[in-house]
Amino acid sequence: DIVMTQSPDSLAVSLGERATINCQSSQSVLYSSNNKNSLAWYQQKPGQPPKLLIYWASTRESGVPDRFSGSGSGTDFTLTISSLQAEDVAVYSCQQYYSGPYTFGQGTKLEIK
């Protein structure tokens, strides 16, 4: 199975500042047939289901604010929130869908400093 490791486990950032969350996979998730990375990012607020933010590592889901961006390729990926808003407080998780079973990172808890 592909192991997904996120860092850090928790993060406190001031309002308006940049937040960066990293995700590393134990093997490449680059799908050679379409040259896309099979990596998604989710946001989960307390008491709510996860919400898809980013897929194919860098494609923003419809309706997601453009302060959220995804980057990286192969085994190393980053979710960046360019200017943190109060409503961004949540747990963020990465997921690989390159091969079964799909696997998630352990999650990163983002708080306001």
Partner 1 sequence: EVQLVESGGGLVKPGGSLRLSCAASGFTFTSAWMSWVRQAPGKGLEWVGRIKSKSNGGTTDYAAPVKGRFTVSRDDSKNTLYLQMSSLQSEDTAVYYCSAEYYGSLKYWGQGTLVTVSS
- Which residues contact partner 1 (rule: CB under 8 A)? 1, 38, 40, 42, 44, 49-52, 55-56, 61, 91, 93, 95, 97-98, 100-107
- For partner 1, give the closer residue by CB, 8 or 83: 8
Q: Which is nearer to partner 1, 72 or 107 (CB)?
A: 107
> Could you tell me how many residues make up the chain?
113
Q: For residue 36, what are the β-bridge partners?
A: 31
CB of 51 to partner 1, least distance (A): 7
**Residue closer to partner 1 (CB basis): 16 or 48:** 48
How far is the C-alpha of 19 from the C-alpha of 35, rounded, in Å?
27
Q: How many Å apart are CA 23 and CA 40, to the nearest integer? A: 10
Least CB distance from residue 93 to partner 1, whole Å? 6
Question: What backbone torsions phi and psi does residue 86 show, to the nearest 5 degrees?
Answer: -60, -35
Q: In the complex with partner 1, which residue's Cβ is closer, 5 or 14?
A: 5
State the amino acid at position 57 in one-letter form.
Answer: A
Q: CA–CA separation, 4 vs 34, rounded Å?
A: 22
